[in-house]
């Protein structure tokens, strides 16, 4: 869908970076909240959250940890669009991956990540069976939580069209297109263009790059009118030669500098809520089941 406003999807933590890899990755609840609030002051559209166990630092699916993070963020900004991770990289059972979707009221997430197929990373697999994907999509539909559709290759986009046919996901759609993973689409113009061209109507998208590809894919997306996914989840280095570790704020500021050069203004959370037909925030989150008609060309 056409808009010149830039979606900045902030991914502060992820599941891979550790304090041993970089002291800058936020792990505890307060560290994550502090980074999100600092990013909010700089200017972001939405945040993609991962929870970590406070004692061990390992990824967690526990809704209590997500609840604490969300509550502290919304105490300062009740309008920021919040997406929670439903990743299958570490957690295999539906009740684990979907537990956070049971949060309600002021703790309810607006969106939940939905990876659209299984895939291999460098050392591990992220297993997302068709039944698991459909079950997560169905629960989000029932809860009024919007999927953040994650696609690493063309087949995943095609599977999202299958979900549309099955009435499990509804427009407008938001896609994270992730390029540069070893077993998936690579960070070049051809692969990016094919992914974007194959998106269904009524779709917004952000380009993400894994590792050194983050800057390249963010820059490309800004130049062609897309959004960006940026943060330490995908890349812990500020420079391609890997001589300087990045802070989340450094990565956001760089994206904003590139956006300014391309005369792209930030899409605010409130604007994104209207585009995605999300509830207005400030106590009303997610999306109502009865959607307004899409206005094409807007």
Write down the mean pLDDT value for the chain: 95
- Domains of the chain, by residue range, sit at 5-275
112, two tokens: 């939940």
The residue with tokens 């991770």 is 85
Predicted confidence at residue 297, as pLDDT, reads 41
C-alpha 72/C-alpha 87 separation (Å) is 23
Strands (E) across the chain are located at 5-6, 8-10, 46-49, 51-52, 59-60, 81-84, 111-115, 119-120, 125-126, 146-151, 173-179, 203-209, 227-230, 265-266
For strand 146-151 and strand 125-126, is the pairing parallel, antiparallel, or unpaired?
unpaired
Q: Which class is 5-275 in CATH?
A: alpha beta
Closest CA to 86 of 160, 136, 36: 136
The residue with tokens 């604490």 is 68
Between 291 and 97, whose confidence is greater?
A: 97
Give me the mean pLDDT over the 231-240 stretch.
97
Predicted confidence at residue 125, as pLDDT, reads 86
pLDDT surpasses 70 at 2: no
41, two tokens: 């002051």
C-alpha 133/C-alpha 92 separation (Å) is 12
Answer yes or no: are the C-beta atoms of 52 and 59 closer than 8 Å: yes
Predicted confidence at residue 295, as pLDDT, reads 47
Name the band, by pLDDT with cuts 50, 70 and 90, for residue 88: confident
Q: What is the DSSP letter of 234?
A: T
pLDDT digits (tens, 9 = 90+) for 35-76: 999 999 999 999 999 999 999 999 999 999 999 999 999 999
Alpha-carbon torsion (209, 210, 214, 216), positive or negative: negative
Predicted confidence at residue 72, as pLDDT, reads 98
The residue with tokens 């949060």 is 103
- Cα separation of the two ends of the chain: 7
pLDDT digits (tens, 9 = 90+) for 174-209: 999 999 999 999 999 999 999 999 999 999 999 999
pLDDT digits (tens, 9 = 90+) for 157-175: 999 999 999 999 999 999 9
């Amino acid at each position: 869908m056409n808009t010149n406003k830039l979606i900045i999807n902030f991914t502060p933590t992820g599941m891979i970076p550790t304090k041993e890899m970089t002291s800058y990755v936020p792990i505890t609840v307060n560290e994550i909240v502090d980074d999100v609030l600092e990013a909010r002051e700089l200017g972001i559209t939405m945040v993609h959250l991962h929870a970590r166990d406070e004692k061990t630092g390992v990824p967690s699916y526990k809704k209590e940890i997500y609840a604490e993070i969300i509550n502290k963020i919304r105490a300062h900004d009740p309008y920021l669009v919040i997406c929670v991770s439903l990743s299958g990289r570490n957690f295999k059972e539906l009740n684990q991956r979907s537990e956070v979707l049971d949060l309600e009221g002021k703790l309810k997430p607006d969106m939940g990540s939905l990876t659209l197929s299984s895939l291999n990373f460098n050392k591990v697999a992220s297993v997302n069976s068709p039944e698991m994907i459909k079950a997560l999509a169905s629960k989000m539909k029932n809860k009024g939580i919007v999927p953040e559709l994650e696609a690493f290759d063309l087949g995943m986009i095609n599977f999202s069209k299958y979900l549309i046919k099955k009435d499990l996901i509804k427009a407008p759609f938001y896609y994270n297109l992730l390029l540069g993973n070893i077993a998936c689409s690579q960070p070049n113009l051809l692969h990016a263009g094919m992914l974007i061209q194959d998106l269904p109507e009524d779709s917004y998208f952000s380009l993400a790059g894994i590792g050194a590809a983050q800057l390249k894919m963010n820059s490309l997306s800004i130049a062609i009118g897309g959004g960006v996914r940026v943060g330490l989840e995908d890349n812990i280095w500020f420079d391609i030669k890997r001589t300087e570790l990045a802070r989340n704020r450094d990565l956001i500021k760089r994206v904003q500098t590139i956006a300014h050069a391309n005369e792209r203004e930030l899409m605010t959370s409130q604007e994104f809520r209207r585009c995605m037909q999300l509830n207005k925030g400030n106590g009303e989150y997610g999306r109502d089941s009865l959607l307004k008609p899409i206005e094409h060309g807007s």
